[in-house]
Amino acid sequence: MLTSLTVSNIVLIERLTLSFDGGLTVLTGETGAGKSILLDALGLALGSRAEFRLIREGADAAHVSAVFHPPRDHPVWDRLAETDIPRDDELILRRRLKSDGKSSASINDVPVSAALLREIGDTLVEIQGQFEGRGLLDTSTHITLLDRAAGHADILEKLRSGWDNWLQAQRNLAQAKRDLEKARAEEEWLRDAVEQLDLLAPHTGEEDELSAERERLSNVGRIGESLSVADDALFGDSGAQTSLGRALAALEKTAPLAGGILDDAKAALERADAELSEAGAAIGGAGHALESDPARLQTVDDRLHELRQQARKHDCTPDELVDTHARLAASLAGIEDSAGALAALADNERQWRDYYRKIADVVAANRIKAAAVLDKAVGAELPPLKLDGATFSTAITDLPPEQFGPLGTQQVRFEASTNKGMKSGPIDRIASGGELARFLLALKVSLEGDEAPRTLIFDEVDSGVGGAVAAAVGERLARLGKSTQALVVTHSPQVAAKGDTHMKIAKTATDSGVISGTEALDTDARTEEIARMLAGEEITAEARAAALALLES
């Protein structure tokens, strides 16, 4: 619900703050008093196109702010959450126009684009009259109004869910096809790479092992020479083993005479003799190993070269070849198994398509039934609104598959004929502003409830009518006011008398120029205003009596 509107420096309005209640609020005033200016200002706060001509002469900037208190379950809160605008008890829409041609918008003091401001404004307010692209002029709202008449919100939710899942399934299938096409283009290279790695059979740490072996094999001569020198030093005619033998023999002869003091020395020499024997065996084994495979160096060199060449080919280290081998083998296996995976994705896409089409058919049937009921109900409302020669119909057409969407497979457009014998056409092209407002009024009273209640604004819905027709307009507006907030700009006393709240807009001459102001009327002032609307400038006793009669009725 709109609770307040603050306007500054908009044409004739210097500074104005209005508070609004629920029910039906009527705004009256003489022609040129500023009623349209007030609606223009509200339109700015709701995201209408910036019109810099609206800035008051002599002012640097114009400001408008509209405060709303939507119910906690209103969908506007979910949309704002998507844009990271914090939730609060109230919703403040602001718009500022500067004389240098710049404009800005905000919601709850968070800067937003004019497009988002308009989107949010359209969820809060429904305007019919001179606002281009809003109300029935916005044909995208027609399908929403018909769905409201059908009352199938739960099925629509299934339809949206089915569409989202079908769309995702289509994307998954398309991506899998692209991946497969790319993989198949590389399949020959991939197969060759896997076969080469299969033959190579690398293992982690192999490069270090081979490098160490190559170092050893490259120095066989030096190592053999060292072994020969060591062997001669240990086991030659004057080597360590011969000297150790003489020392051990000497101790063995005298040990029995020493009373045990030579035992430790003798034991140490015996251990040394055993270690020398082990050293001799090790030297012999090392020498044998050096001589066992003279071609081993070439084998090691070839293996190292192949490992490093494959690593360069796959842009990795030799130790990473094991993982690379596994990954490429898995990719190759994936290509070979792709037919089954692709079939599963295609089957999933087909299932969601069939589900979507099934739910869409149910929605389509509901819309056809609801359209017949709605057309009849609106048709019954037209004669009392001085549209007795008019017709209203709901045109439902099937969309081509490429235009399917979350709302289904149909396009909905309201059509009308405003005169008997005239061919029906799109309502936004056939009807004038006042007629559109009355068509919307007929629609609104024909629909039961509103899942996301919006403030309804009618600009001169009573244009060109009077008497009983104006009274019929007023009665229907009053009915709407019982279930939702409605504002109407009117020149009709019959309509004005039906309001729960009455505001008068008037111009006043001041030192700074002519300004427009608005005031809420009490009972007496309201009687005078309706009498003025009946009688003109000179209010008679008869006009006051007629005004009282209208108010009492």
β-partners of residue 7 are 16, 64
For residue 169, is it within any domain?
no
Residues 304-326 pLDDT 10s: 999 999 999 999 999 999 999 99
469: its two tokens = 């027709």
**Predicted local distance difference test score (pLDDT) of residue 480:** 87
Instruction: Classify residue 312: in a domain, yes or no.
Output: yes
Question: Per the domain annotation, does 298 fall within a domain?
Answer: yes
* Distance, CA of 478 to CA of 489 (rounded, Å): 14
Residue 188: the pLDDT is: 83
Taking residue 179's Cβ as centre, other Cβ atoms within 10 Å add up to 15
* Average pLDDT taken over every residue of the chain: 86
Q: What is the three-class DSSP state of 190?
A: helix
As a whole number of angstroms, the distance between CA 96 and CA 61 comes to 7
How sure is the predictor about 7, in pLDDT bands with cuts at 50, 70 and 90? very high
Q: What pLDDT shows up at residue 60? A: 92
Contacts of 246 (CB under 8 A, 6+ apart): none
Is residue 169's pLDDT more than 80?
yes
pLDDT above 70 for 274: yes
- pLDDT-derived band at 291, boundaries 50, 70, 90: low
Domain limits for position 273: 187-333
Whether residue 134 lies inside any domain: the answer is no
542 Ramachandran zone, left/alpha/beta (phi>0; psi -120 to 50): alpha
- Please indicate, yes or no, if residue 496 is contained in any of the structural domains: no
Q: Which residues lie closer than 8 Å to 541 by C-beta, 6 or more apart?
A: none
Q: pLDDT-derived band of residue 25, with 50, 70 and 90 as boundaries? A: very high
Residues pairing with 504 in the sheet: 28, 519
CA distance 18 to 486: 15
What pLDDT is stored for residue 324 in this prediction?
Answer: 93
More confident site: 66 or 341: 66
Write the CB contacts of 399 (distance below 8 Å, at least 6 apart in sequence). 409, 410, 411
**Choice between 201 and 282, residue whose per-residue pLDDT is larger:** 201
**Percent of the residues in the chain that have a pLDDT greater than 70, as a whole number:** 93
Please write the tens of the pLDDT for every residue from 467-488: 788 888 889 889 888 888 999 9
Confidence of residue 464 (pLDDT cuts 50, 70, 90): low
Separation of alpha carbons 251 and 269, rounded Å: 9
Domain-embedded: residue 299: yes
Look at residue 5 and tell me if it is in a domain. Answer: no
Calculate the alpha carbon distances from 134 to 12, 50, 125, 449, 456 in Å: 25, 15, 10, 21, 12
Kindly state whether residue 97 falls inside one of the protein's structural domains: no
pTM: 0.63
> What is d(CA 224, CA 447) in angstroms, rounded to the nearest whole number?
106
- pLDDT, one tens digit per residue, over 497-534 is 999 999 988 877 666 555 667 888 999 999 999 999 88
Residues listed for the chain:
553
Residues in contact with 452: Cβ distance below 8 Å, sequence separation at least 6, in sequence order = 74, 75, 76, 123
pLDDT (0 to 100) of residue 513: 55
Which of 20-34, 152-166, 280-294, 382-396 is modeled with the greatest confidence? 152-166
Taking the C-alpha atoms of residue 263 and residue 271, their distance in angstroms, rounded to an integer, is: 12
What's at 236, amino acid-wise? Answer: G
Our count of domains for the chain comes to 1
